[in-house]
Amino acid sequence: MDRSERRELRRRLKCRHFEGALRQCAAGIMPGTPIPCYGTDISLAWGNETNKTPVDQCPQYCPRTEADLAAEDERRARMLRLMSEGKSACCEAPLDTSRVITSGCHKGHGPRFCSKCGALSFMV
């Protein structure tokens, strides 16, 4: 199994309540070690085909459906399209780039904010 196949397997096995390794899950379960948020097939997802460590199933584990994955892909594609157009993902307003570094070795780096609501869109 190559790297891209493992990445896709992790995406499919990840629990729909998972909000990141450092945050509490949406179902109120605090992830432990090993992270149970990937179901019992976590060893395969991380490339450990030879060392299959059993993982206790979280009682709230709920794998993502095809609809969840499609919605995630649509959100990502929309966000990337808006970023390439210089617009924010929240309000689709132009980005405020007034705090971006304009010279020196870090030219172009800095935060991009929504010009309408002021939310941070992304940072380079």
- pTM score: 0.67
**Predicted local distance difference test score (pLDDT) of residue 15:** 81
The answer to whether the beta carbons of residues 6 and 45 sit under 8 Å apart is: yes
Q: Are strands 120-123 and 95-96 parallel, antiparallel or unpaired?
A: unpaired
- In tens, the pLDDT along 5-46 reads 878 887 888 888 877 666 667 777 765 555 566 665 555 555
Q: Could you tell me which residue, 114 or 8, shows the higher pLDDT?
A: 114
Three-class SS of residue 75? Answer: helix
Sheet of 120-123, strands arranged across: 95-96, 111-114, 120-123
Q: What share of the chain is helix, strand, coil (3-state, %, to 5)?
A: 30, 10, 60
**Predicted local distance difference test score (pLDDT) of residue 3:** 81
* Domain residue extents for the chain: 1-64, 66-123
